[in-house]
Amino acid sequence: MLPIGVFGQSFKPDPDTRSSYKNEPAYLLDTVAESRLTKQQLFSNAMNYVTKSFKDSRAVLEMENLELGEIAFNGQVPIIFTDTIRTEKKKKVVEEIYSDRVDMRFKCKIYVKDQKFKIVLYSMEVPMSSLLDVALGLSMESERTANQEAKMIAMDMIIGMTSFINRPPANEF
């Protein structure tokens, strides 16, 4: 297996996504990785990732252009988070813990060149709950549990995508 050299990863403000939090910008996750593969191999692997990761890749794919070395798609992944609700009942503050399963929605762009590629996850949103589909744009600073869970999911997705895109062709020996 080829070594994966991630030489740049950052959470940056996302100017194109409205944040649901006051004075806290939405963010995007930007990752650059090096590779020993050609632009064509990286592009092929990235397209393969999209087709294997989603039931109907044509429905999520927004753009694919080998000449430009760009792929853009929309996706969603399930997350389960535990949170605490504080309510006041009969002049007492009551804390209740609950778990919820929601789908984190996101957009992704993959850029490929010979021997390196870049993955950008952006427009990341989670509903407030499974019962209330009011999307919250994820914030760089928010301590809200769903926000923190989504951050971890996004980082895991980047690791998985990077490994998949950077794998050598099956006929290489």
Question: How many angstroms separate the CA atoms of 157 and 160, rounded?
Answer: 5
**Arithmetic mean of pLDDT, 61-80:** 92
Query: Considering its fold, how many domains does the chain have in total?
Result: 1
| Residue 170 falls inside a structural domain | no
| Residue 116 falls inside a structural domain | yes
Residue holding tokens 């062709």?
169
| Residue 157 falls inside a structural domain | yes
Pairing label, strands 27-34, 116-127: antiparallel
| Residue 36 falls inside a structural domain | yes
Q: How confident is the model at residue 3 (pLDDT cuts 50, 70, 90)?
A: very low
| Residue 101 falls inside a structural domain | no
- Rg for the chain, CA atoms, rounded: 19
Question: How many angstroms separate the CA atoms of 54 and 52, rounded?
Answer: 6
How far CA 72 is from CA of 6, 50, 52, 56, 157, in Å, comes to 21, 10, 15, 15, 15
**Arithmetic mean of pLDDT, 46-50:** 94
For residue 20, what are the domain limits?
Answer: 5-74+106-126+138-165
| Residue 83 falls inside a structural domain | no
**Arithmetic mean of pLDDT, 87-94:** 81
| Residue 131 falls inside a structural domain | no
Identity (one letter) of the amino acid at 64?
Answer: E
> Is the model more confident about 75 or about 83?
75
pLDDT at 20: 58
